[in-house]
Chain A
């Protein structure tokens, strides 16, 4: 049973909104939806979008999340907020009043971040996103219901496209270029504009029917929508946490609620030993930066300009590194071994390792390299981190599905140049070369 009324939430929200404005945050109109536990699970599985196309992977996400909650492995999220205009946030009805207040304040932080961060501005159109997902879902449902296509064929292409969902251009879409490029393209099997975008390449050059092509493009477009969130996880959560902390401290909470707030807040931003809690790192960094001279303007500029990688590289200094007890680790045999710690000697390397592993840095880059005798040759851009072989083999089969022929991947395994070959009938072989 809820321990609050909607009226109470509205009253607290009014106060929060005033503070938000006074602080100079710049938000979309905010919509809150109170929802049940089951709805929350559902929204989570579909990454917040109220309407998405059907695919078993969402069912899997739902079941997994549910079993995690039931085993108490993770707590339910108090909220879920999506990048849209108006900004939609879901609040779970079973939250306590204080949790709802804290969550609302937190949501305004995200809202401001969505509206002002460069990546979101560049790659998403907040006012149209919800409709885009709806349109996509409708189109895919039509394909599923089309007797000449049907669910199995749709699933096959979606499976394949999902396998490559992050193999897309990472730094914004290219401006549609002039004619000169297309003449050059004739001689080049891999046009410049598709070089860093395997999924777009396959959508265009793969042996696909119209509706198959459409499916791949749908997956790609939705992936583009999610990229800014992946690229700014630490900043976004840090920013929202920093603001809920600031706002609730000046909100004039009654003492009981204030204590609950501090407790709750500390749970949100506590470090996870041996891992990175983005709320913790982001919160600490913004808190530190805000205290510097000219801090407020500076953090406003940072939230507009940076992504996690540049945020860490530019603003994580030795003092912060040491305060957060950051360290790098490597794998030696079966052991996980500390390789660098945040002392005078090592902190820069800790920072750089960290910066390289956040956001899309956690996902290997695989690009189309050439086409040799109908075989599509892919290249893994090797950066001392090796691919998980089993996964690479299986993912190559997806590439074969979309390419419609043989595919080859050049990478390094155990420091040796390696070629993974996948035939048309999906027989995978691994060669040292």
Chain B
């Protein structure tokens, strides 16, 4: 009998990172199925391109950066040492990023742009920061933001419309000065929920996304705090704007904003990404508050119609600040509750004044 040296504890819970990644992939199935049903080969090709690029490049970067041992002589031995740390997580994790990234693509976006975004996301945003667990920005969101900034021209006319206002997503139509009653004729709320609108491949069907989100929350793979905090902040601020700008139709206005512009998709699959979220309970509530209010600010006052990816990336930058050892704590203290309430009130005031609440 051979006795092994170990330190306590000697038993472990039956959970794994692999299982968490696969959970996210399972949760993405309804969204992916709907996008293939709606956009056919357009969707399949973009999915495959981003999957191949992300998984392939992650493996390539590991091969390039890992150091072989001095004792390795032949190429085969070197390769074996380099890939000794290559596990199933080096396939599932980029696959999650790739599927989310593909679902953020408009259906007619040139393959070239998809490839550029995927390469940027995996190489610059993920692998250069140290691979799984090391990235400080959400991989898919950063890739999407990069191509929409760098290759803006390619986004012209990429949305498949079924309607008179071809090429405009519901939110950009609102942004471009269309008034709410007319908009609701073009895009009824039921269409927003069923996915019968122009938009990126994953964001349009609210039902598919909510099924995935429910699965993630039931499996506890996603932290409900992030979801609740983001959505509730978003709703509070949107109700405030709705009541001010469209007093008669504020409810429709809020629903319209909730179901369009990829908010639900972002909340379900990008905000809940644990790698780029803070690690404490108060930190996660604050992070959600930050994302929710940034989305509202960008949508209402910014130059872009959709602010989920931008708001998320901006909030990612605050994570090291939230997690700074000097004040980070896992206890819900009174001073955190006060701080949270104060920030929320300030955000409400900003939004209210911004929407023309008080004329001086």
The answer to whether A and B belong to the same complex is: no
Interface residues of A (CB under 8 A from B): none
